[in-house]
Structure 1
Amino acid sequence: MTRRITACFALAGLVTLVTPTLADEEKTMTVYKSPWCGCCEIWTEAVEAAGYKVVVEDMEDLSSIKQQAGIPDDMQACHTAVIGMNRKYIIEGHVPLEAIDKMMSERPDIRGIAVPGMPQGSLGMGYDPSAEYTVYSLGETRSQTPEPFLTTGR
Structure 2
Amino acid sequence: MLLVLNRTYFPDGTQGILEWNGTLVCYTIELPWLENQRRISCVPEGEYVLQRRHSPKFKWHLHLLHVPARDLILIHPANDAKTELLGCIAPVTKHIGIGKGIYSRLAMEKLRDLVFPLLASNLEVKIIIQSNPSTPLRMTS
* TM-score normalised over the length of structure 2: 0.30
The structure richer in strand per residue is: 2
* TM-score normalised over the length of structure 1: 0.28
Greater relative contact order, per chain length (Cα 8 Å cut-off, separation 6+): 2
The structure richer in helix per residue is: 1
